[in-house]
Amino acid sequence: MRVPFKLQVLLALCRLEFERWRYERNPRAHQRTMWKRFGARTLARSPQYAPDADGSIADFAVQGKVEFMRDFDDINTRGIKLDEAMSVAMDAERCRDFAPTVSGITVGLSSGTSGNRGVFLVSEKERAYWVAMVLQRILGFSLKRRKVAFFLRANSKLYTSVQSRLIQFGFFDLLQPMQNHIARLNSLQPDIVVGQPSLLMMLVEAQHNGQLNILPSRIISVAEVLSPEDQRAIEACFPVTVQQVYQCNEGMFGQSCAHGNIHLNEDGLLIEKDWLDATRFVPIITDMRRMVQPVVRYKMNDILHITECTCGSNMIAISQIEGRTDDVLKFHNERILFPDFIRRAIIGAHPEISNYQIIQESPSKLALFVSPSIHWEAASMALTELFQVQDIADIDIQRLETKRHLLGSKFRRIHAKRH
């Protein structure tokens, strides 16, 4: 018998409540139970993982996106082939059909750069969990009818499935021009706005110059790094606290708590830490709630800052998602600079600096965009001083007149040279 989707969401909600409670009571025992269940129910059905399904996590290799896609056919538990899934997903993207499926499984295309795109698979049950997670940990319960403006690069069945009498989703395609969004937002008057920081900053500008006139009670930042400056600007414009969600195609990994830290959902995730220094780490994630495409020891390329949180949760707390490991600037003699150093130097150069971008063109050449441009020299000097202090010699900084940002893509403030 097919269980109606809304009932599945309700069941998932109960399960999530229970699992969170059990985790907080005894984190290690809960994770051991979850790992056993994941092994028996999911890993045992994956050709790649079945031989080690009753072993320990150390038996599995750490992987990145390349290995995850290379072994796609053997990893998934439904015998779906990458070629087939990829062609269905590409066709759907071309004709903007947002609900492609293969053997009843929803197929999504990850937003990597072209040539590096991945495919992800989600079953109906997993979608129900995702919706329950959004309701439980992000939107919260409310008997008031709420309208959500959700900005996405492409729609997906994953998101539209949240529609209900209490929550009405308005989907905004990031590929559409800003003017269309503004008109629609003014008429929709959303209670909740979900979007990437670069988009939220455009809304701040539109609200300041009077084109936009909305009063959301919640703003949720997704997909890109939210810098403290942008957060302050958004919070000053729409007087609400910005919530952050750490999520990607591989799953929903964390969200901010009432104290403003981001907790990783360890009641369903095993998080191993690849330490970069005393507080920064790159997470290696095992998602024990995935069923169709198990995510095992998947190394993300995000740099997270660990912190302590006093809100009462035992789940790992993150004060900031600093950026991607790709954003770490590398110079001659193996010198490196984390994106946060660059950010502090530029923002600290003048209080009026509201936007900037750094593109590293070679190990000794940087292009710098600063807005307002009148402060370009100050920013450039601050960077030069930073390089001197860090013992990085002979860096040529050139002026970039406009920022580089393709419509609909993630905005990257810091582009390191790929090595």
Where along the sequence are the contacts to Zn ion (CB under 5 A)? Answer: 257, 259, 261, 309, 311
Closest among 165, 135, 159, 132 to 147, alpha carbons compared: 165
For residues 403 and 412, give the distance between their C-alpha atoms in angstroms, rounded to a whole number: 10
Minimum Å distance from CB 141 to Zn ion?
A: 19
Q: Which is nearer to Zn ion, 308 or 391 (CB)?
A: 308
Closest among 10, 33, 57, 30 to 267, alpha carbons compared: 30
Q: Which residue is nearest to Zn ion (CB)?
A: 311
Minimum Å distance from CB 260 to Zn ion?
A: 8
Residue 100 corresponds to which tokens in the numbers above? 């492609």
Minimum Å distance from CB 221 to Zn ion?
A: 17
Q: Which is nearer to Zn ion, 225 or 309 (CB)?
A: 309
Q: What are phi and psi of 150, to 5 degrees?
A: -115, 115
Please report which helix (H) or strand (E) contains residue 10, including its range: helix 5-25
For residues 12 and 361, give the distance between their C-alpha atoms in angstroms, rounded to a whole number: 48
- With beta carbons less than 8 A apart as the criterion, state whether 396 and 364 touch: yes
Pairing of strands 329-330, 355-362: unpaired
Tokens 């008997």 belong to residue: 143
Q: Which is nearer to Zn ion, 255 or 360 (CB)?
A: 255
Minimum Å distance from CB 324 to Zn ion?
A: 24
Minimum Å distance from CB 247 to Zn ion?
A: 17
Minimum Å distance from CB 241 to Zn ion?
A: 13
**Alpha-helix residue ranges (DSSP H) falling in 56-208:** 65-70, 72-75, 82-94, 124-133, 157-160, 178-188, 197-208
Minimum Å distance from CB 271 to Zn ion?
A: 15
Q: Which is nearer to Zn ion, 75 or 321 (CB)?
A: 321
Q: Which is nearer to Zn ion, 245 or 400 (CB)?
A: 245
- DSSP-assigned letters across all residues of 21-61: HHHHH-HHHHHHHHHHHHHHHTGGG-TTTGGGTTS-GGGSP
How far is C-alpha 349 from the geometric centre of its chain's CA atoms? Answer: 29
Q: Which is nearer to Zn ion, 76 or 261 (CB)?
A: 261
Beta pairing partners, 284: 272, 299
260: phi > 0 → left, psi -120 to 50 → alpha, else beta; which? left
Minimum Å distance from CB 130 to Zn ion?
A: 22
Residues composing the chain? 419
Minimum Å distance from CB 314 to Zn ion?
A: 10
Pairing of strands 336-337, 365-371: unpaired
Q: Which is nearer to Zn ion, 310 or 402 (CB)?
A: 310
Q: Which is nearer to Zn ion, 260 or 363 (CB)?
A: 260
For residues 243 and 241, give the distance between their C-alpha atoms in angstroms, rounded to a whole number: 6
Q: Which is nearer to Zn ion, 232 or 259 (CB)?
A: 259
- DSSP-assigned letters across all residues of 374-386: GGHHHHHHHHHHH
- With beta carbons less than 8 A apart as the criterion, state whether 118 and 126 touch: no
Minimum Å distance from CB 317 to Zn ion?
A: 5
Q: Which is nearer to Zn ion, 211 or 313 (CB)?
A: 313
Cis amide prior to 372 (ω within 30 degrees)? yes
